[in-house]
Chains A and B, each alone.
Chain A
Amino acid sequence: MNLRTTALTTLAVLSTASSALAQSGVQLSTEVSQRTVEQGDSFQFQVTAMTGSGDPVPSSPRLPAPPGATVHGPSISSQQHVQISGGTIERRQGFTATWSVTPTRLGKLRIGPASVLVGSKQVQSEAVVIEVVPVGQAPQQRSRRSRGLFGNDPFDMFRRRGSLFPPGMFDDPFQDPFQDEPQQQIPQYPPEYAVTRAPDPIAFVRSTADKKSVVVGEQLTFKVYVYGSRGPFEPRGLNEPAAADFVSFPIEEDRTELREYPVDIGDQIWHAAKLREIALFPLKTGNLPLGPMRISLSGRGYGGRGNQPGLVRQGETLSINVTEPPLAGRPPGYRIGDVGSYQLAAEVQPKTVQQGDAISVAVTLKGIGNLPLKLDVPQKAGVEWLQPQVRGDVGPQNSIVQGERQFQYVVRMRKAGNIDLGEIRLPYWDPSKRAYFTATARLGSVKVTPSATAQAEVEEQSTQPSTKLSKSLSLRKTLGPDAVSEAPPTDTPWFWALLALGPALVAASETTRRVTKKVSSKLSVRRSDGMSLANRALSDAEKARETGDAPGAISAAERAIFHGIEAVTGLKGRGFLRHELADRLTEVGVPATLATQIADLLAHCETARFTGDDASKAATDIVNQTRDRLKELGRLRRSIKRAPPP
């Protein structure tokens, strides 16, 4: 049922705007996959160009992108037709070029005309007008992508279910038209469709790249597949993957056809189709993104019928690591992006010319990869190369982009003599061999016979005063001294510290000097302080007692007491009589007990010094008492200092 409907709908919808032109023996026909298309949905624009066996082979199809639409492609498939009629054999050769067009604006969209090159003439196809309608308003074209106009095989529609008759003619009239096809053995499917696990239970989009790391200009093949678990589907609203940093060549030969394969994932049968297969050539280095492809699926189990939105699924974004080919071994003249395998051949005609005349140099570049559009020609004095005409085409063959370009140069020979033209060299990086090679075409020599007119012209030019900039600057023939590369002193870590060091040293020295002076002055004051003197005298007393010098110890202890009195009260103790001392001390604020104890201690010292009885014991007693009294005097002095002023 589905297949039958497909064929009929395709016939109705794939309105073919074909025309045959008999211009210069070329037959051009134009086809579009849809006349009415939804905004954002892609359709195919196809041009077939055929010529007779004696005519030049058509080449270089071009389709200018109209405003309000984006154009991808073309994918080109070559064709050869042989027709036998009336006993004569007619051969025709040519190609079919298919572009994918995605309208971005509503309304009428005029596509074309496309053009092809036949010999030296450019031939144009017809232009086609397409109606672009809002999403959901296009007439349903079920499975229009799943088969061509008549599928791959024009007899295919009669062969369904093993019948040579059109479907329906002898079908069971009571069969449920929506009943699924009887379960069949899963036919073999290409291994590239195999998936071990479905990331989504209904449908998913899978993007793959055959290489994750390439050099600039190296081909990688990007493929996008869609899988559906609910039976056959129709893709709608395809969003092309963004690959702004790549040059792309569509590989699929016929993008109007979307072939579905039943694929087993786990224990379920899925329907899988390849949406895109594109050869990509990175233009620059870095981690370049390959954008996701978004698709809306319609069909039973997916939605998308009538105004219903389809089931939208999106693939993942891939990241391709792009580097430059290695620097080691890179030949002079290598241009980044020249990657593949190239061959050069050249033909020079004629080999003898008169001075001032021109010769023709035809250079053929063929090989694998995105062949460069420009060659470096050898420059010699008296040889003037004009801009070349470039022909030929490069495209995918067996998924590998390859082809041939012809460069047609006109070269003016301004100097007489046997002129060696040198050779044309094209260095390239071969990723399969991981090495640089140089394609070379030797041009040989040309004999240029002198011409008086041309020589006079050359001489006149050489004698004219030159205003050229290069004349005022002379070439340097030898290398002079090497550049001295010295890091500025500011980069050395100690430079900034050193800047501050001198002044800081002087300032630090001065500060040290001043601090030292102040400290020594304070020490000196402290040394002359009464309590310090008292403590020193007590220390002397203890030393004298330890050495057995009892009189010395008593004398020092007495001195310590007097120093202590003076430090606390300011009184010179020696100036008072013993019996007066206690009263005087009490008058200046010393507690009476302490004053009495001090007076007694002094009396004890006097007695011990004069009596001399048991001097050692007395000295020990006096030194101990002196220590205690000095402590009390010290406490008294601190309390006086802490007391608020009256």
Chain B
Amino acid sequence: MKPHATVLSLLVVCGLLGTARAEPPSQSKQQYFATATKSLEEGAINQAIDEYELMADHGIQHPDASFNRALAYIRRAESPQEQAGDLGRAAAAFSEVLTLRPDDAEAREGLRLVREEIGRRRARRGAEQVIMSPSLARTAVGLLSETTWAILAGLGSAMLSVGLALRLWFTRASSRLTGGILGVVGALLLVVSGAFAFGARHLRLTSRAAIVVVPEARLLDETGKPRVQRGTSAIIEGERVYVVDERGPYAQIEWGTVAGWVNRSQLMLLDH
């Protein structure tokens, strides 16, 4: 009974320490958010956008602030004060929410609606609809999160270890059979998940996700001249691209299977 009481006391103390360490939202963050949200409620959309953007400029990131920023851009896009790229910026803000809080279903739905709206507006203008499928490598790696791949690789490693031990150190036939199966499955899991975890890490470290925030981002060559090629010549608003290099005012991007350069100011990088 006594040991149980000790463990419980320790747990309570740890819990209290954890609670004490969890930093409450800073006052300035709350203030920024409250001011911007009040402006948005009062219909002062431009002011609200400025305040939410200022919050982001100061490095204060919060998924709910990004969500409201997206909403502010959508409202401006639906008002007479609409500015080119408003829906793209809304898509960027929703993507930021999903980067910060991947399970935010409302933001996911918002992003889908914004992209639909961009498509509708393009269709009304008679602009070409472009559907770009992501590259095979990114699709495969993106099936699971990097952490999940890492956990699976760890599991594979453990299974391989147990399998080897059973196979090598036990003489009973059933143990050796179990060990063989565990070893093979574990080795496969370790190799595949390890490779995907490594790939995901490599893509994360060598490229940055960004959203196109202009109606069309013209694809350029390395010198900044418009690229002359058949097929896709511009990336449409709200699309997610990956920036792999930056040189002067230009950013080298991957958009699905298309690679090229665009003007950096036409993108909003998703920092996290």
Q: Which residues of A contact B (CB under 8 A)?
A: 284, 286, 327, 330-334, 376-381, 384-386, 422, 468-470, 472-473, 475-480, 482-483, 485, 488-491, 495, 498-503, 505-507, 510
Say whether B44 contacts A380, CB under 8 Å: yes
The residue from A330, A470, A490, A507 contacting B197, defined by CB atoms under 8 A apart: A490
The answer to whether residues A478 and B64 also contact, given A327-B58, A332-B50, A483-B101 and a CB cut-off of 8 A, is yes
Say whether A332 contacts B47, CB under 8 Å: yes
Q: A-B pairs with CB below 8 Å: how many?
A: 136
The answer to whether residues A469 and B157 also contact, given A378-B44, A488-B150, A499-B190 and a CB cut-off of 8 A, is no
The residue from A378, A490, A498 contacting B200, defined by CB atoms under 8 A apart: A490
B63 lies within 8 A of chain A by Cβ: yes
Q: Which of B28-74 contact A (CB under 8 A)?
A: 29-30, 33, 35, 37, 40-47, 50-51, 54, 57-58, 61-65, 67-68, 71, 74
Say whether A470 contacts B54, CB under 8 Å: no
Question: What chain B residues lie within 8 Å of A472 (beta carbons)?
Answer: 113
The interface-forming segment of B11-19, B122-130, B159-167 is B159-167
Say whether B29 contacts A469, CB under 8 Å: no
Question: What chain A residues lie within 8 Å of B106 (beta carbons)?
Answer: 473
Q: Which of A330, A380, A499 has the most CB of B within 10 A?
A: A499
Say whether B30 contacts A479, CB under 8 Å: yes
Task: Identify 9 residue pairs between A and B in the complex whose beta-carbon atoms are under 8 Å apart, listed by A's number.
Answer: A380-B43, A386-B80, A472-B113, A485-B100, A489-B151, A498-B157, A502-B161, A503-B190, A506-B165
B245 lies within 8 A of chain A by Cβ: no
**Separation of A531 and B88 alpha carbons in the complex (Å):** 90
Say whether B161 contacts A332, CB under 8 Å: no
Say whether A479 contacts B64, CB under 8 Å: yes
The answer to whether residues A480 and B200 also contact, given A376-B47, A500-B157 and a CB cut-off of 8 A, is no
B184 lies within 8 A of chain A by Cβ: no
Say whether B80 contacts A503, CB under 8 Å: no
**Separation of A611 and B101 alpha carbons in the complex (Å):** 103
The residue from B46, B160, B201 contacting A491, defined by CB atoms under 8 A apart: B201
Say whether A332 contacts B51, CB under 8 Å: yes
**Separation of A378 and B248 alpha carbons in the complex (Å):** 36
Say whether B44 contacts A379, CB under 8 Å: yes
**Separation of A298 and B198 alpha carbons in the complex (Å):** 68
Say whether A475 contacts B58, CB under 8 Å: no
Q: Which of A422, A491, A495, A502 has the most CB of B within 10 A?
A: A502
List 8 A-B pairs, minimum CB-CB distance, nearest first. Answer: A502-B161, A483-B100, A333-B50, A506-B164, A490-B201, A476-B64, A488-B146, A381-B43
**Separation of A619 and B158 alpha carbons in the complex (Å):** 66
Question: What chain A residues lie within 8 Å of B231 (beta carbons)?
Answer: none
Question: What chain B residues lie within 8 Å of A381 (beta carbons)?
Answer: 42-43
Say whether B47 contacts A469, CB under 8 Å: no
The residue from B25, B77, B100, B154 contacting A498, defined by CB atoms under 8 A apart: B154
Say whether A380 contacts B194, CB under 8 Å: no
Chain A residue with minimal CB distance to B102? A483
B267 lies within 8 A of chain A by Cβ: no
Q: Which of B118-166 contact A (CB under 8 A)?
A: 145-147, 150-151, 153-154, 157-158, 160-161, 164-165
B223 lies within 8 A of chain A by Cβ: no
Say whether A469 contacts B113, CB under 8 Å: yes
Chain A residue with minimal CB distance to B114? A469
**Separation of A488 and B33 alpha carbons in the complex (Å):** 29
B78 lies within 8 A of chain A by Cβ: yes
Say whether A490 contacts B57, CB under 8 Å: no
Question: What chain B residues lie within 8 Å of A510 (beta carbons)?
Answer: 164, 168-169
The answer to whether residues A330 and B57 also contact, given A378-B47, A479-B62, A499-B194 and a CB cut-off of 8 A, is yes
The residue from B43, B54, B160 contacting A379, defined by CB atoms under 8 A apart: B43
Say whether B47 contacts A333, CB under 8 Å: yes
Task: Give me 20 other A-B pairs in contact (C-beta within 8 A), A470-B74, A479-B29, A503-B164 excluded.
Answer: A332-B47, A332-B54, A333-B51, A333-B54, A334-B54, A376-B46, A376-B47, A379-B46, A380-B43, A384-B80, A385-B81, A469-B113, A475-B41, A476-B68, A477-B37, A480-B63, A482-B62, A488-B200, A499-B194, A502-B160
Q: Which residues of B contact A (CB under 8 A)?
A: 23, 25, 29-30, 33, 35, 37, 40-47, 50-51, 54, 57-58, 61-65, 67-68, 71, 74-75, 77-78, 80-81, 100-101, 106, 109-110, 113-114, 117, 145-147, 150-151, 153-154, 157-158, 160-161, 164-165, 168-169, 186-187, 190, 194, 197-198, 200-201, 204, 248-249, 272
Say whether A502 contacts B157, CB under 8 Å: yes
Q: From residue B153, how far is it (CB to closest CB) to chain A in Å?
A: 6
**Separation of A499 and B159 alpha carbons in the complex (Å):** 11
**Separation of A477 and B51 alpha carbons in the complex (Å):** 15
**Separation of A386 and B81 alpha carbons in the complex (Å):** 9
Chain B residue with minimal CB distance to A491? B201
The answer to whether residues A327 and B57 also contact, given A376-B50, A510-B168 and a CB cut-off of 8 A, is yes
Say whether B44 contacts A490, CB under 8 Å: no
**Separation of A510 and B168 alpha carbons in the complex (Å):** 7
Say whether A506 contacts B65, CB under 8 Å: no
Question: What chain A residues lie within 8 Å of B158 (beta carbons)?
Answer: 502
The residue from A384, A385, A473, A501 contacting B113, defined by CB atoms under 8 A apart: A473
Question: What chain A residues lie within 8 Å of B43 (beta carbons)?
Answer: 379-381
The answer to whether residues A284 and B249 also contact, given A330-B54, A479-B30 and a CB cut-off of 8 A, is yes
**Separation of A52 and B150 alpha carbons in the complex (Å):** 82
Q: From residue B142, how far is it (CB to closest CB) to chain A in Å?
A: 14
Chain A residue with minimal CB distance to B77? A469
Question: What chain B residues lie within 8 Å of A480 (beta carbons)?
Answer: 63-64
**Separation of A498 and B156 alpha carbons in the complex (Å):** 12
Say whether A489 contacts B150, CB under 8 Å: yes
Question: What chain A residues lie within 8 Å of B197 (beta carbons)?
Answer: 490
Q: From residue B102, how far is it (CB to closest CB) to chain A in Å?
A: 9
Chain B residue with minimal CB distance to A245? B249
Say whether B150 contacts A490, CB under 8 Å: yes
Q: From residue A467, how far is it (CB to closest CB) to chain B in Å?
A: 10
The answer to whether residues A468 and B78 also contact, given A482-B25, A503-B160 and a CB cut-off of 8 A, is yes
**Separation of A491 and B205 alpha carbons in the complex (Å):** 10
Q: From residue B174, how far is it (CB to closest CB) to chain A in Å?
A: 19
Question: What chain A residues lie within 8 Å of B71 (beta carbons)?
Answer: 470, 473, 475
Say whether B194 contacts A483, CB under 8 Å: no
Chain B residue with minimal CB distance to A477? B37
**Separation of A124 and B75 alpha carbons in the complex (Å):** 43
Question: What chain B residues lie within 8 Å of A501 (beta carbons)?
Answer: 157
Q: From residue B272, how far is it (CB to closest CB) to chain A in Å?
A: 7
Question: What chain A residues lie within 8 Å of B77 (beta carbons)?
Answer: 469
The answer to whether residues A489 and B147 also contact, given A469-B113, A472-B113 and a CB cut-off of 8 A, is yes
Question: What chain B residues lie within 8 Å of A495 (beta carbons)?
Answer: 150
Q: From residue A509, how far is it (CB to closest CB) to chain B in Å?
A: 8
**Separation of A385 and B80 alpha carbons in the complex (Å):** 9
Chain A residue with minimal CB distance to B149? A490
Chain B residue with minimal CB distance to A333? B50
Chain B residue with minimal CB distance to A511? B168
Q: From residue B93, how far is it (CB to closest CB) to chain A in Å?
A: 11
Question: What chain B residues lie within 8 Å of A286 (beta carbons)?
Answer: 248
**Separation of A473 and B112 alpha carbons in the complex (Å):** 12
Q: From residue B23, how far is it (CB to closest CB) to chain A in Å?
A: 8
Question: What chain A residues lie within 8 Å of B81 (beta carbons)?
Answer: 379, 385
The answer to whether residues A499 and B47 also contact, given A472-B113, A473-B113, A490-B198 and a CB cut-off of 8 A, is no
**Separation of A306 and B157 alpha carbons in the complex (Å):** 87
Say whether B78 contacts A475, CB under 8 Å: no
Say whether A488 contacts B161, CB under 8 Å: no
Question: What chain A residues lie within 8 Å of B145 (beta carbons)?
Answer: 488
Question: What chain B residues lie within 8 Å of A502 (beta carbons)?
Answer: 157-158, 160-161
Question: What chain A residues lie within 8 Å of B168 (beta carbons)?
Answer: 506, 510
**Separation of A469 and B116 alpha carbons in the complex (Å):** 10
**Separation of A267 and B67 alpha carbons in the complex (Å):** 72
Say whether B74 contacts A469, CB under 8 Å: yes
**Separation of A332 and B28 alpha carbons in the complex (Å):** 14
Say whether A499 contacts B62, CB under 8 Å: no
Question: What chain B residues lie within 8 Å of A327 (beta carbons)?
Answer: 57-58
**Separation of A477 and B65 alpha carbons in the complex (Å):** 9
**Separation of A330 and B51 alpha carbons in the complex (Å):** 11
